[in-house]
Structure 1
């Protein structure tokens, strides 16, 4: 069956193109809607649209707020079908909101505190074990993370947050290595270079003012990146480079343990997540901590998992986790998402 999709373009110039490629691959009708423009309501009221496909890649609190508000009206008020779910979008790229959600739902996670008063934040630091991790509300791939080892560093961080504001680094992520290669890749095209520069400027201008987010520091050599799309599960280790694993391109491949697959499956099923990356620390006392939840996620390689040097996925069959060899992460895993959207529409589950 052929469906007609409305692809919601964010402020990012490219992210929606993955949906476009998947629609064309699966021979689906679509139209791209400039969701950040003023005429978004009229564009979304097209009666022929069967489902709206959401794009990610928000680089500022301003556009994240815009996207959340408009999606609320579209999906919760207008009752339009969307993919992924509205809850997944709310949690995506909002570490403040995520911390509240994890805490309220008693999902194991590193203790996280959010302070809107400078005095309260400083009092907290005086009675805290250091280091602590300072985070910005928006920032993927390790951007916006500061490991504060001394009270002096932490105090300076707080005072900056309540005066000029906390800014993310300008330019490329230094944790991802091969800066020369990445620079050459982007400089060959003037348009691509301009887009990258625009993103760096926007990200740098997005100052976080008036509150701080502190997370408990969990010593780790790696962080698990677990991915769930439909009944497909993937996993690999993001290896630490320097002081953290987030944002590095160093990966460790192999079959993830059954208990971490069960842990992720249980969370996603309980809360109705359709497309989710779950970043996980191993708890030194046993079990796992959820560090991040992201409905959209990057992909350094053409695959999310290798077992014995073979690409593939994990699926639970007859109560057992089974590895299935194959290429399931094409088009940054958007093709797999498209298969899932079509299945859900066919079964009347969206």
Structure 2
């Protein structure tokens, strides 16, 4: 059996799949899907399935990647991992909001506006503060907490244009650069135009990250740094046994969405509510365990209606891709192709 590893813009993303395949002694081929003859490369590769890692930096790149795997999966009839649906939601907060609302999962109320007049009408009567989000962006990138109508109106007019949408400059994000002594610079390549995503604001204690890859579950806290819980850095993580209620919630999300590899970030509010904030089929993670119970690294497996802890330090190797490759191979060998073709 042979796996294809789809390579795109990032020179490192696909290498973690390569390392996992080497460790598991799985035959593989790296395919550049940005090349002019990418379709021919996919068709003639002889691969039984394809491992994907979408970009998370620019909306245009994400759309191009989605288009390519759509044709690989739907028209060339090739299995892909993760599934197309969970990658379609990945780094697309508009799609994620629709999924959560349709499925009825608890989440902060989110409104997506594609008309300026609708957005302006909303901010006249909504409760402040509110949260503006860009469609693409990880670790609180593109997230703005807005505390008054004047600020909200300024963002809306910048996104849609004051007079005509053809003349809009868009909302420009400013990013901090460590190479420039912490100075911020305008990220012109990530300008947001022609839509706004406005979410209800909830005061939170922290955020839970619950991960499900195949039959493996992991969980930990992402602690607050200022207004946000990015989970970046070892000191921003709480190694606490995750509530079984949240493990069951993520199990239900993955079953209803037919998701194969999913990280679910869940707010725990000061009022004790659990609200889903993010769904990410890929997520930032280094080669370290994603869960410790009483100082012991491991994972949960769901067996006979219970979550059973299994000790181990190597489940999350190669940025969790060891589990992804193992799961994909198991699905292909069992010919459980519906899960990777739907």
TM-score above 0.5: yes
Are 1:168 and 2:154 matched, yes or no?
Answer: no
Contact 1:239 1:248 in 2 (8 A): no
Give the match for residue 192 of structure 2.
208
Distance 1:20 1:221 in 2: 38
Aligned residue-pair number: 325
Distance 2:271 2:204 in 1: 13
Give the match for residue 262 of structure 1.
248
Give the C-alpha shift of residue 284 in structure 1.
5.9
Contact 1:232 1:313 in 2 (8 A): yes
1:39 to 37, 40, 65: 37
Contact 1:59 1:202 in 2 (8 A): no
Give the match for residue 86 of structure 1.
84
Give the match for residue 140 of structure 1.
138
1:316 to 299, 302, 305: 302
Mapping for residues 195-344 of structure 1, pairs under 5 Å:
204-246=188-230, 248-249=232-233, 250-282=236-268, 287-300=273-286, 302-327=288-313, 328-344=315-331
Distance 1:281 1:246 in 2: 12
Distance 1:342 1:313 in 2: 20
Give the C-alpha shift of residue 345 in structure 1.
1.4
Give the match for residue 70 of structure 1.
68
Stretch deviating more after TM superposition (316-325 or 241-250): 241-250
Distance 1:169-1:89 versus aligned 2 partners, 3 A rule: same
Contact 2:175 2:186 in 1 (8 A): no
Contact 1:60 1:202 in 2 (8 A): no
Give the match for residue 165 of structure 2.
none
Give the C-alpha shift of residue 285 in structure 1.
6.0
Give the match for residue 54 of structure 1.
52
Give the C-alpha shift of residue 288 in structure 1.
2.5
Distance 1:201-1:169 versus aligned 2 partners, 3 A rule: closer
Contact 2:8 2:32 in 1 (8 A): yes
Contact 2:209 2:220 in 1 (8 A): yes
Q: Residue 172 of structure 2 aligns to a residue in which SS?
A: coil
TM norm structure 2: 0.90
Give the C-alpha shift of residue 46 in structure 1.
1.7
Distance 1:132 1:206 in 2: 22
Distance 1:122 1:86 in 2: 35
Give the C-alpha shift of residue 287 in structure 1.
5.0
Give the match for residue 193 of structure 1.
none
Give the C-alpha shift of residue 300 in structure 1.
5.0
Distance 1:81-1:223 versus aligned 2 partners, 3 A rule: same
Give the C-alpha shift of residue 282 in structure 1.
2.8
Please provide the CA RMSD for this pair.
2.1
Contact 2:52 2:81 in 1 (8 A): yes
Runs of 5+ consecutive residues of structure 2 not aligned to the other structure = 161-167, 338-342
